[in-house]
Amino acid sequence: MAIEVKVGDWVSAETNTAKVFIGYVHEELKTGMFNIYIPKLKAYVPFDTEQLAVCAVYYTEEELDDVIDLALLLKDEQWFKELVKEKEEVKWHG
């Protein structure tokens, strides 16, 4: 059964050889097919939704800085804004 995946999600992606990578959904290529940025590989790899599982991601304030840098590197304005908002909430709530 296919899961709901959207641009901006962090996912676990399993290859046909059962190798698993963690990556960021960069874009939808076509219905059910997404281009995933795999930081470990420093590359974009296409995956079908059948190969993906959405990850719950929680960042420390320091990790948020690194992920904000990644959003800037990817030129993903929407994700950048979401991360900055999340960082402000972390600072506000301690």
Concatenating the DSSP letter of every residue in 2-30 gives: PPP--TT-EEEEE-TTS-EEEEEEEEEEE
Residues 31 and 14 in one domain: yes
pLDDT of 94 reads 53
Each residue of 39-94: pLDDT tens digit?
888 999 999 999 999 887 777 888 888 889 988 988 989 889 988 988 887 776 55
Higher pLDDT, 89 or 9: 9
- pLDDT confidence of residue 2: 59
* Tokens found for residue 3: 């899961």
Query: What predicted TM-score, i.e. pTM, was given to this entire model?
Result: 0.61
Full residue range of the structural domain in which residue 41 is found = 10-54
Of residues 8, 6, 5, the one with CA closest to residue 71: 8
DSSP state of 57: -
Whether 40 and 71 map to the same domain: the answer is no
Tell whether the model's pLDDT for residue 1 goes beyond 60.
no
Does residue 2 fall inside a structural domain? no
11 burial (CB, 10 Å; 0-12 / 13-18 / 19+) is buried
Please check whether residues 46 and 68 belong to one and the same domain. no
